[in-house]
Structure 1
Amino acid sequence: HRILTLGITGFDSPILNSSIPEARQSLSVIPELLLIIQPDSKILDDVKQIAAKAKEYCDSNPNFNTFNRVVFITEYLNPLSQKLNLFQKEERIPAVERNRPLKATAATLFDENAFDVNGFVASNEYRYSDEKAILGEKLFYDKSLSKDGNRSCASCHNPEKAFTDGLKTNVSLKGRNLNRNTPTLTYASFQNAQFWDMRQLDLEKQSVDVIQNEDEMHGSLAAIHSKVSSDREYIQLFQKAYPKSGKTEAWQIQNAISSYVRSLNSFDSRFDSYMRGNKNSINAEEIQGMNLFMGKAKCATCHFTPLFNGTVPPNFAKTEHEVVGTPEDASGKRLSEDRGRYIFNQLPQLKGAFKTPTLRNVAVTAPYMHNGAFATLEEVVEFYDLGGGTGLGLSVENQTLPTDKLNLTAAEKKALVAFMKTLTDKRYN
């Protein structure tokens, strides 16, 4: 997994571009280690053969920018991962269970059920269930959660727009433009921090933060608790969702809404279909775009495959932030005044730092960046191609994004955008 997500993307050697020779060397060690465990195994013979062919592919294609990662993953790394998984099952080697999104039993990173929505839950009583999600969906669309009874969670997270609102920035209850763009809730469960500034560590705290925010819903958890505790339909739903609890409790409201959000991950995009063997789901330009995304354009060094967010592989245990120097608007003349994470953690390196969001469903969640500065994916690609805010000539002393130009051609930029469009779930196509 590390070879796939970090090795061949340039994450481990961003300046030297020596990722392909390094991946080759890592592959050479795998069979040797396994032979120590079990010297006589048909599966390990297969592993050895696949690893040898993968090394040959690296030897024949050592150039970082032209290396075909799509071929390498689908024809070598995925089969290798599947064989290792099979070996583990046949030898009855127990999986090491950890509280993290990637399941220890996953055969590849691209399996339909490779990731666990419980990876970042606070404790066992918060774990997902369908009954909780059903209750949470009703709460999500209930306008009585807001003080004036005119706004629900769905008012700003529209399911038709992949749970965004399509606005540059959100609008307060009084009609005032707020500072931040509304992020998608799809795949939000695979981040260990919520909001652009990462001020809350889980979805439960995120939900109550929004409900109680004076600009957003201005509701009261106590008032909501009182309402649902006396509503017959809600009582029945709570009993199904929390059968061991003798009464409705306030934390269950937060957990139910969060459980609904945890259900918004389908992993059924054209990209997913391709990685599971459907070679007709992505065309040649989109394949070129994926190779650029994971190679020359260096997108995957921050938006990690296959979640395409900032949750760092191979453990997927922590979500990163970045300082990219986002401008105030698409003109690029002024730096955004929003200090991001620095507002809550006043460390110099956090000025202008924002969570790296998922790019899944990105084609239907415009506008982009924390402030909605860019209306199109083409504008976003242009911004990164120039080297972020510093590349625009803005003063960004602590920019974590490399400031050198990517030098993408017009055709490469077009292919990159085409690839990102393959990350759209079926529901939104």
Structure 2
Amino acid sequence: MARNAPTLLNAALQRTQFHDGRVSFLEDQAATVLANPTEMHGSMAAAARLLTRSPAYRAAFARAFAAAPAAPVQEAQLKAALAAYLRSLVRLNSPLDQYLRGDTTALGPAAQRGANVFLGKAKCATCHFLPLFNGTVPPGFERSENEVLGTLAAPNRLRLDADPGRAGATGIQWQQHAFKTPTLRNIALTAPYMHQGTYRTLAEVVEFYDQGGGAGRGLTVPNQTLPPDPLHLTPREKQDLIIFLHSLTDTTGLRRETPRSLPAFPTKLAHLNQRPVSGRY
């Protein structure tokens, strides 16, 4: 995989999908992943045909889409079903959300200090807009911003990552190395970080920003949108900032009991009945 897979949580609240923002709708996002030779190496049409061979899946899709019981699963139905599931993964009940709704015990002193660093000295909120903490621009939330950070190819290698980013999708030269500003919600659970997983810890990410990104480290990044000036965060400010980022964690509903079984396939496709139930986000 050329890029680090982003979280699916709150994907419905993003204006564009993928690190380069090349699609706008979750239906298209699902289809693109299925067709990508480095990911699923298939197609939505092929998946629909496979599901049609399962009477149980045919019946489930017929109920969901008010179709005839024996009707084949349609590609559009599969896209809609996958997108509907992704839209169910909205999580907005983190300790910070509880604090903002009036529970003053939900955020400790260090997290409160970290919030001030986030909104003030560290300037994080100039790109990670509240309340979604991603690049979806308020108040209309109709577009997502892309930023050039000068991300390194490796943590200890002073070389710019070669991924063209947004420019690879648009062909626009000044968008070289630009990537969609991702959500910071549940960031404590979604390591590694950056579009290609350069950093393994939040401490490394904070250090990268504190030094002014790639340009701040001495790389030539003429279109870097992140200010190259160092932030001069103190050790305590860095630690408080990380504690605040942990306060954006919300795993509500992700620990529910898994289904006891999945819709079955016929004997000729019996190997598919061995697929695991549940997963991790």
TM-score by length of 1: 0.57
TM-superposed deviation, 1:244: 6.5
Separation of aligned partners in 2, 1:276 and 1:233: 44
Q: 1:228 corresponds to which letter in structure 2?
A: L
Unaligned runs of 5+ in 1: 1-177
Written as runs of structure 1 = structure 2, the 5 A alignment for 1:177-326 is 178-243=1-66, 247=71, 248-326=73-151
Are the equivalent residues in 2 in contact too, given 1:310–1:357 (CA < 8 A)?
A: yes
Separation of aligned partners in 2, 1:406 and 1:265: 33
Partner of residue 374, structure 1: 199
Partner of residue 179, structure 2: 354
Are the equivalent residues in 2 in contact too, given 1:210–1:217 (CA < 8 A)?
A: yes
TM-superposed deviation, 1:348: 2.0
Separation of aligned partners in 1, 2:137 and 2:24: 16
Separation of aligned partners in 2, 1:220 and 1:386: 43
Are the equivalent residues in 2 in contact too, given 1:341–1:350 (CA < 8 A)?
A: yes
Separation of aligned partners in 2, 1:277 and 1:243: 43
How big is each residue's C-alpha offset from its partner over 1:204-239, in whole Å with a ceiling of 9 and x where there is no partner? 111111111112111232222222223222122212
Residue 236 of structure 2, aligned match among 387, 390, 411: 411
Separation of aligned partners in 1, 2:177 and 2:4: 15
Unaligned runs of 5+ in 2: 256-281
The DSSP-based 3-state class of the residue aligned with 1:389 is helix
Separation of aligned partners in 2, 1:424 and 1:289: 15
Q: 1:333 to 1:245 in 2, by over 3 A?
A: farther
Q: 1:190 corresponds to which letter in structure 2?
A: L
Are the equivalent residues in 2 in contact too, given 1:309–1:358 (CA < 8 A)?
A: yes
The DSSP-based 3-state class of the residue aligned with 2:170 is coil
Partner of residue 271, structure 2: none
Are the equivalent residues in 2 in contact too, given 1:332–1:392 (CA < 8 A)?
A: no
How big is each residue's C-alpha offset from its partner over 1:46-76, in whole Å with a ceiling of 9 and x where there is no partner? xxxxxxxxxxxxxxxxxxxxxxxxxxxxxxx
TM-superposed deviation, 1:315: 0.9
Structure (1 or 2) with the larger CA radius of gyration: 1
Q: 1:416 to 1:237 in 2, by over 3 A?
A: same
Question: 2:227 aligned with 1:402, yes or no?
Answer: yes
Higher-RCO chain (CA-CA 8 Å, sequence separation at least 6): 2
Are the equivalent residues in 1 in contact too, given 2:15–2:141 (CA < 8 A)?
A: no
TM-superposed deviation, 1:243: 2.1
TM-superposed deviation, 1:332: 4.3
Separation of aligned partners in 1, 2:21 and 2:148: 13
Separation of aligned partners in 2, 1:244 and 1:233: 14
RMSD of the alignment, in Å?
Answer: 1.6
Aligned residues: 252
TM-score by length of 2: 0.86
Separation of aligned partners in 2, 1:224 and 1:180: 24
